[in-house]
Amino acid sequence: MSKSLRIALLIALTLNAAPLTAQEPKRPFGTLREQAERQQAWLKERLESVLPALMKKHSIDMWVIPMREYMEDPVFSSLVSPTTFYARRRTIYVFFDRCQHGRQLAAAECVERLALGGSSQGGLYKDYRSPRRVEAAVGGRQAELWGDAQWQLLREVVEQRNPKTIGINSSRTFAFSDGLTAGEREGMSTALGTKWTSRFKRAEALPLELIASRLPSEEQAFKELTTLVHQLIARMFSNEVITPGVTRTQDLVWWWRQQVNDLGLGTWFQPSVSVQRQGATAEQLGDNPIIARGDVLWCDVGITAMRLNTDTQHNGYVLREGETDAPPGIKKALANSNRMQDILFDETRPGRSGNEILGSVLTRMKSEGLNGTMYSHPIGMHGHGAGPLIGLWDYQEGVPGRGDAKVIPSMWFSAELQVTTPVPEWSGQSVRMPQEEDFIIGADGKPRWALKRQSELHLVRPPVS
């Protein structure tokens, strides 16, 4: 058969073949549009309920946040709609608490929200345009604010409202509170003059707590995210994915990335997977070992959806031939790690700083004979979120500055820690059991798991023949 005849036959077969049925994509949290609707509702609730309370708490009656495109303030994503990805040219958000100036208004109406540049964010801000019109250049559309016109308008807004304090995002301690760039501060200061710049006040706690504060309506979404994480880890640490003697740890890393991508989701860090093995050191195992029977498995994974992030570390065990469960010593290692979580829950409550919690946890840990470290952090809009650090893995004596922030109600944490335990079945070799599980500080101040914690090892069983 000639080449041209073979091509003609192939084309004919293709044209006459039954059409392929498109597979409906998996959308565990709905379509992007449905997710955006949830996020917009959260934004409205946050601006109407959380923000006014925080401005009053910190005695800031005006909060000014100027930023330029691609140099957004860290608080930006907590202030804008899910359809807004960057600041527009220059955007200046102004929040003014009229109730601190004697107005008798409902709490949701106290704070006036102005956007000097940018959009109304779905009607949540009063947006300003330039008073001039350039018919020929812009087809009759009202021009956007630009350059000095924005700063002049800011001065007019300030003078009309006569604030007692003007909160600015400047901090040497918290990145989340240090969004005011040198150039924007210079432009704002020049426009306002000494009368108003003398009323500048570092608003360190305001953006920090606004970013950290989560809503009850967000908790259900976070539970859904965490449920998916647990389900994916259970699959990854099973014979569905692992073939002992064949599968490498990096195969699991990329399995996770692909699964998350196929679900239309993202992640905020590259996953990690490692093993511990009887008689072998980490150096001997290397960076990408082949998984063997008898290995203790560990993963650090997360997913991102609807501007929310998870962070989870679980552990597993690859059963040897004839085993039906992990050795008691390895199960005890996990139980010791669970005990460390219990102590953290006992010591975490609103009003305490991260350093205070860390000191109490380590004192109790040592009194119970546990050999561990504590390095928990807030989570939510960011993976390593706004709020107090409860230790760092290499700073167990406390974290000056960032560890001095205080826990507030309605914030989320990752309980990240490890306990190292000698295992009799491994001739006394120590097994390090890191765990990380997300939890919620409720409005009542009590901690609870976003879903649940890992109290049993994932077991990789022999395949069913």
Res 23: pLDDT:
59
Place of tokens 């949540």: 124
| Of residues 36 and 3, more confidently modeled | 36
Identify the CA nearest to 174 among candidates 201, 144, 148, 209. 209
| Of residues 134 and 386, more confidently modeled | 386
Q: Using an 8 Å Cβ cutoff, are 164 and 61 in contact?
A: yes
* Mean pLDDT computed over 380-395: 97
Average predicted confidence (pLDDT) for the chain: 93
* Mean pLDDT computed over 278-296: 97
Confidence of residue 463 (pLDDT cuts 50, 70, 90): confident
Question: Does pLDDT of 15 surpass 70?
Answer: no
Share of the chain above pLDDT 90, in %: 88
* Mean pLDDT computed over 193-220: 97
Confidence of residue 135 (pLDDT cuts 50, 70, 90): very low
Question: Does pLDDT of 14 surpass 80?
Answer: no
Question: Does pLDDT of 133 surpass 60?
Answer: no
* Mean pLDDT computed over 368-389: 98
Question: Does pLDDT of 137 surpass 80?
Answer: no
Confidence of residue 142 (pLDDT cuts 50, 70, 90): confident
Phi, psi of 51 (to 5 degrees): -60, -50
| Of residues 5 and 173, more confidently modeled | 173
Q: Which tokens sit at 296?
A: 């203790």
Confidence of residue 129 (pLDDT cuts 50, 70, 90): confident
Q: Give residue-wise pLDDT tens across range 354-365.
A: 999 999 999 999
Confidence of residue 375 (pLDDT cuts 50, 70, 90): very high
Return the beta strands (E) in 302-428 as ranges. Answer: 304-305, 308-309, 312-318, 372-374, 377-379, 411-423
- Dist. CA 442–CA 350, nearest whole Å: 10
This prediction's pTM: 0.90
Confidence of residue 19 (pLDDT cuts 50, 70, 90): very low
Q: Which tokens sit at 323?
A: 């085993």
Q: Which tokens sit at 254?
A: 């990329």
Question: Does pLDDT of 112 surpass 80?
Answer: yes
Q: Using an 8 Å Cβ cutoff, are 430 and 423 in contact?
A: yes
Q: Which tokens sit at 429?
A: 């070799």
Question: Does pLDDT of 9 surpass 60?
Answer: no
Q: Give residue-wise pLDDT tens across range 409-431.
A: 999 999 999 999 999 999 999 99
Return the beta strands (E) in 302-409 as ranges. Answer: 304-305, 308-309, 312-318, 372-374, 377-379
Question: Does pLDDT of 136 surpass 80?
Answer: no
Identify the CA nearest to 383 among candidates 170, 86, 176. 176
Domains and CATH numbers, the chain: 32-211 (3.40.350.10), 214-460 (3.90.230.10)
Q: Which tokens sit at 249?
A: 């740890």
Res 132: pLDDT:
58
- DSSP at 85: -
Share of the chain above pLDDT 70, in %: 92
Place of tokens 């109600």: 409
Identify the CA nearest to 290 among candidates 279, 270, 271, 274. 274
Q: Using an 8 Å Cβ cutoff, are 373 and 393 in contact?
A: yes
Q: Give residue-wise pLDDT tens across range 36-82.
A: 999 999 999 999 999 999 999 999 999 999 999 999 999 999 999 99
Q: Give residue-wise pLDDT tens across range 77-101.
A: 999 999 999 999 999 999 999 999 9
Question: Does pLDDT of 277 surpass 90?
Answer: yes
Confidence of residue 145 (pLDDT cuts 50, 70, 90): confident
* Mean pLDDT computed over 8-28: 51
3-class SS of residue 38 = helix
Question: Does pLDDT of 286 surpass 50?
Answer: yes
Identify the CA nearest to 457 among candidates 315, 332, 336. 315
Res 25: pLDDT:
65
Question: Does pLDDT of 104 surpass 80?
Answer: yes
